[in-house]
Chains A and B, each alone.
Chain A
């Protein structure tokens, strides 16, 4: 039995030694917002936070997490930065299929929590590990900048 602190709640879970956090979240606890994409930390769909830093949960053994606080997409909106990122994502209508976007939002939130006003190279460094097959990168970049600016724009920046 291991104890995990997830989104402000404590969870006692049975998991074999070495079982990655991804599958504990999804299959044992039922937090399915964190996604499986590649299993080898190449795509970023499984990104969660450990004490606010972005990590790939598909390779992270759950029994190595210890006391560190886990945040998933289901809980990231509780932080001011996370909520700002989610809002920017909606304001700019970033999402297409959405499958990678949990990971994108987690990576972007971790970036902004550390670097309040990231430039393009900061964004590249923090986000290049997250693949979006729908190709929403142009809007992801814009949305990160909008979230950084704390702008509260209404409607879409496109299509008028």
Chain B
């Protein structure tokens, strides 16, 4: 990867590298080709041109959702893309979740069913448009045959084919004939100017059920005869059960069974209350194993030690070593803590395991992996492991893991009924896969107010190496360097390195914003430090180095203008800016903060300007940025998981604090019109907030925070 530095200059570097790297290793089944195989044979009762579209004899359109809905609005956006090219109205379409099938519904970037990395629209934009357009072309051809006219003169609109002189054939009347039409290759896609749905702020299809409490999340599943379970795994990672005394638990009303496995205990009851009471009544002796002494102090020491080593070169331009010699050198180290996901819907999974079958009800970002883990644990073939995917009450990367599915299946193997395994909040906090700790060493030298030399060493865990091993090549974690190796500024001499350093005894995972969270924070904070050193305005300093990034420069200028950048503010108030190219989107953000005498930070206003290419549902893009910024604000102000005695010390929302409505700033989002291919959006706000807030705190107080979360004591007025 590093051998082809030109590839690194484009923002989609890491995704392309992932695609290429993965393809070389043989893991990617699909590439960017369309999985247009028929999910089942076409029948007279139904037009099923591909895996995504069904039209029945009454004209009812069913769209199959390859990506999972976890709040990001993807069901609506996918439906809009399909309906647009199919030329059907969005009203009345039925959406169903795709079954497990990597071959039919695999994410084209990963080759397996994954909803993550803000790439649903990016990955499926063309395949879904082709799926819709192909179906439309087949319906038009069927009408042409019926009317005995050339298909070229016909159009489709609102679920019908239109001919000359007002002739009209609804799709319902064409399903039999269309099923016999050979699917054309390269059916023409609509021009952007002809879009009826894409680009319009349409109502989400999943929200009416949600506001009346009618959505069945995984945690709401109620198979007949279901029992309720809650569990506790060894609070020290990797520890085992040594002994359990369950006499008191079994005596409680409603407690039916205690399941003791190698690494966890579970109580099964008539309802969650019985299970919870039963769990609290167990006396468990743990064999804590080798991680029982792990502490945050040790984690940080090891990380800092690792960061002194030379890393694997992720990108090299010019001669950074030479350019960093001389006056006006600035060096800084930035650090990011462990974070928990804390989805509002705690981890849960319902299973019914019998000798002959395994049925799983779950909300997962990786459906086929959920099925695979069920197959592995039970030894049953795919057709006997039925997985029902449910809408998700918050993913943020947590549900890219299947540990909670595995635990439920293992428990279910000992229970003679369907069993709903729900994690208590404490268990959810203690048994997460955590956003890794990172340390970034940055050095840069200025010449004539611009950056002449740049060195960035990223040190941290490789989630990719565990989660998608074939994509971890030559010692580089393409996620950990994302938005770091492809820094947007025009710098003649630069070197970006990666040091893989796994924290002792703490599992790590993807967390909303993934690698760019760390890199955007470190880079945008350091750029601010360099602007100060150069005596330049932070917006102007950035703009001067964005000559090759017109989309980001335009976003920066718009965010500055809308935020009132440069206008005076009261004492201990300040504005901070952050610019980023991440997930294929170009975003600039200005945060405005006040810091009181005790060091408490109030974020008053955040303004973001975004160029994310062609927008499918503008209101969804705005909502994702608004929410993502607040998600990132929680991380910046409060987020930190600490370890003592091998255990996570935080347990619930009282000690793992969230931004609440009384602390939420005004958030304004401005979309920049664009003809470019769609970018990703779900994670972008989260990466933007910490550096913008940190830079605003600097503007307000003169104190540079090089570590997240904000440490109030550093900001208090010294008397």
Contact = CB atoms under 8 A, between A and B. Distances in A.
Interface of A: 15-16, 19-20, 23-24, 26-28, 30-40, 42-43, 45, 72-74, 77, 86, 89-90, 93, 95-102, 105, 123-125, 127-141, 155-156, 158-160
Contact of B253 (A16, A27, A129, A159): A16
Given A133-B344, A158-B622, A33 B214 contact: yes
Contacts of B652: 38-40, 42
Given A101-B210, A128-B660, A93 B619 contact: yes
B146 interface: no
Interface string B243-274: 00000000011100000000000000011111
B664 interface: yes
B212 interface: yes
A19 B275 CA distance: 11
Interface residues of B, number: 73
A134 B425 contact: no
> 5 tightest CB-CB pairs across the interface, nearest first?
A33-B213, A135-B630, A99-B393, A97-B71, A73-B213
B8 to A, nearest CB: 32
Contacts of B183: none
A27 B276 CA distance: 13
Interface of B: 70-73, 201, 203-204, 206-208, 210-217, 219-220, 222, 228, 252-254, 270-274, 276, 342-346, 391-396, 422, 424-425, 617-619, 621-624, 626-631, 633-634, 652-654, 658-662, 664, 666-667, 669, 671
A89 B207 CA distance: 9
Contacts of B622: 158-159
A133 B511 CA distance: 13
B206 A98 contact: yes
B16 to A, nearest CB: 29
A136 B210 CA distance: 14
Given A98-B71, A137-B661, A159 B344 contact: no
B70 A131 contact: no
A124 B207 contact: no
Given A36-B422, A45-B344, A134 B271 contact: no
Contacts of B203: 90, 93, 156
A59 to B, nearest CB: 12
A158 B201 CA distance: 8
Given A89-B211, A139-B626, A141-B661, A95 B204 contact: yes
Contacts of A90: 203, 207-208, 211
Contacts of B70: 97
Contacts of A89: 207, 211
B671 to A, nearest CB: 7
Given A27-B272, A95-B210, A97-B71, A37 B346 contact: yes
A27 B343 contact: no
Contacts of B228: 27
Given A35-B345, A96-B623, A159-B621, A86 B212 contact: yes
Nearest to B199: A159
A105 B273 CA distance: 25
Nearest to B665: A138
15 contacts: A27-B273, A37-B344, A42-B653, A73-B212, A90-B203, A95-B206, A97-B71, A98-B215, A133-B344, A135-B633, A135-B634, A138-B667, A141-B661, A159-B617, A160-B201
Nearest to A144: B661
Given A33-B213, A37-B346, A93-B203, A133 B394 contact: yes
Contact of A133 (B204, B343, B619, B667): B343
Contacts of B274: 16
Contacts of B666: 138
Contacts of B222: 30, 32
Given A95-B207, A99-B394, A133-B342, A74 B213 contact: yes
